[in-house]
Amino acid sequence: MTGPHRAAERRRLAEAHIDARRWQPNRRAGKHSDPGHDLGVAGGLSALSLDALTSVAYGPEAAIVVLVTAGATAADWMPVLMGVITVILLILTFSYTQVIAAHPEGGGAYAVGKTYLGRWPAMLGAASLVVDYVLTVAVSLAVGAASLGSVFGGLSHHLLLVSLVGLALLTAVNMFGVSESARLLMLPTAVFIILTLAVIVVGAFHPHPVAVIGTKQTFPATTTVGVLLLLKAFANGATAITGVEAIANSVPAFREPRIPTAQRTELSLGALLAVMLTGLTVLIRIHHVLPRGNVTILAQVTAGAFGTGAAFYIANLSTALALGLAANTSFGGLPVLMSLLAKDHRLPHMFYLRAERPVYRYGIVTLAAASAVLLVAVDAQTQRLIPLFTIGVFIGFTISQVGLVRHWLSDRPAQWRWRAALNGLGATLTALAVVVALLTKFTEGAWVVAVAIPMLIFLFAHTEHYYAKVATELRLGKTPPRPHRRESIVVVPTSTVNLLTEHAVSAALSMGDTVVALAVAGDEEECEQVRRDWNEWKSGVPIEVLLDPHRSLIRTVLRYIESVQGEEATITVLIPEIIPSKRRHEILHNQRGRLLEASLKARADVVVAVLPFHIHD
Q: Which whole number is the average pLDDT over 530-536?
A: 90
Q: In sequence order, what are the residues at sequence separation of 6 or more whose Cβ sits closer than 8 angstroms to the Cβ of residue 512?
A: 488, 489, 490, 572
Q: Given this model, what pLDDT does residue 50 score? A: 87
Tell me the per-residue pLDDT of 338-396, one tens digit each, with 9 for 90 and over: 888 888 999 988 887 755 455 567 888 889 999 999 999 999 888 888 888 888 888 98
- 14 pLDDT above the threshold of 60: no
Q: Which whole number is the average pLDDT over 290-296?
A: 86
CA dihedral sign, ordered 62, 67, 68, 74: negative
Inter-residue contact 244 to 52 (CB < 8 Å): yes
CA dihedral sign, ordered 483, 486, 491, 497: positive
3-467 and 487-615 have identical folds:
no
Q: How far is residue 203's CA from residue 371's CA, in Å, rounded to a whole number?
A: 36
Name which residue leads in pLDDT, 422 or 589.
422
Q: How far is residue 328's CA from residue 201's CA, in Å, rounded to a whole number?
A: 29
Q: What is the DSSP string of 280-316?
A: HHHHHHHTT---BBTB-HHHHHHHHHHTTSHHHHHHH
Distance between alpha carbon 402 and the CA centroid of its chain, in Å? 24
Residues 353, 359, 361, 366, Cα dihedral to 10°: 110
Tell me the per-residue pLDDT of 15-33, one tens digit each, with 9 for 90 and over: 444 343 333 333 333 333 3
Distances (CA, A) of 15 to 20, 22, 90, 331: 8, 11, 31, 20
- 139 pLDDT above the threshold of 80: yes
Inter-residue contact 81 to 241 (CB < 8 Å): no
Inter-residue contact 81 to 63 (CB < 8 Å): yes
Say if domain 487-615 classifies as CATH 3.40.50.620. Answer: yes
Tell me the per-residue pLDDT of 380-434, one tens digit each, with 9 for 90 and over: 888 888 888 888 888 988 998 898 899 889 888 888 888 889 889 988 988 998 9
Q: How far is residue 373's CA from residue 377's CA, in Å, rounded to a whole number?
A: 6
Smallest Cα–Cα separation from 283: which of 206, 216, 212, 217?
A: 206
Q: Given this model, what pLDDT does residue 4 score? A: 47
Angle made by CA atoms 328, 150, 221, in degrees to the nearest 5? 115
Residues 398, 401, 405, 410, Cα dihedral to 10°: 100
**Greatest mean pLDDT range, 8-12, 509-513, 561-565, 588-592:** 509-513
Side chain identity, residue 286: I
Note the helical H segments in 152-296: 159-175, 182-204, 227-237, 246-249, 258-286
Name which residue leads in pLDDT, 184 or 187.
187
Q: Which whole number is the average pLDDT over 464-484?
A: 87
Q: What is the CA radius of gyration of the chain?
A: 31
SS3 220: coil
Q: Given this model, what pLDDT does residue 359 score? A: 53
Residues in a beta bridge with 575: 610
Inter-residue contact 546 to 580 (CB < 8 Å): no
Q: How far is residue 49's CA from residue 43's CA, in Å, rounded to a whole number?
A: 10
Say if domain 3-467 classifies as CATH 3.60.10.10. Answer: no
Smallest Cα–Cα separation from 231: which of 432, 451, 425, 448?
A: 432
Q: Return phi, psi of residue 292, to 5°.
A: -130, 155
Q: Given this model, what pLDDT does residue 617 score? A: 65
Answer whether the bond into residue 257 is a cis peptide, omega within 30°: yes
Q: Quick one: the chain helix, strand, coil %, rounded to 5? A: 70, 10, 25
Inter-residue contact 136 to 242 (CB < 8 Å): yes
Q: How far is residue 399's CA from residue 165's CA, in Å, rounded to a whole number?
A: 35
Instruction: Determine which of 10-14, 174-178, 610-614 has the lowest per-residue pLDDT on average.
Output: 10-14
Inter-residue contact 240 to 82 (CB < 8 Å): yes
Inter-residue contact 64 to 297 (CB < 8 Å): yes
Q: Which whole number is the average pLDDT over 62-81?
A: 86
Inter-residue contact 477 to 465 (CB < 8 Å): no
SS3 242: coil
Name which residue leads in pLDDT, 78 or 184.
78
Note the helical H segments in 29-118: 41-48, 50-53, 59-67, 78-102, 108-116
Average pLDDT, the chain: 84
Q: Given this model, what pLDDT does residue 258 score? A: 86
Q: How far is residue 520's CA from residue 530's CA, in Å, rounded to a whole number?
A: 9
Distances (CA, A) of 450 to 264, 446, 614: 35, 6, 52
Q: How far is residue 191's CA from residue 130's CA, in Å, rounded to a whole number?
A: 30
Q: How far is residue 126's CA from residue 133's CA, in Å, rounded to a whole number?
A: 11
Q: Predicted confidence band at 162 (pLDDT cuts at 50, 70, 90)?
A: very high
Considering the chain, what percentage of its residues have pLDDT values greater than 90?
29
How many residues are listed for the chain in this entry?
A: 617
Q: Which whole number is the average pLDDT over 515-542?
A: 89
Q: Where are the domains of the chain?
A: 3-467, 487-615
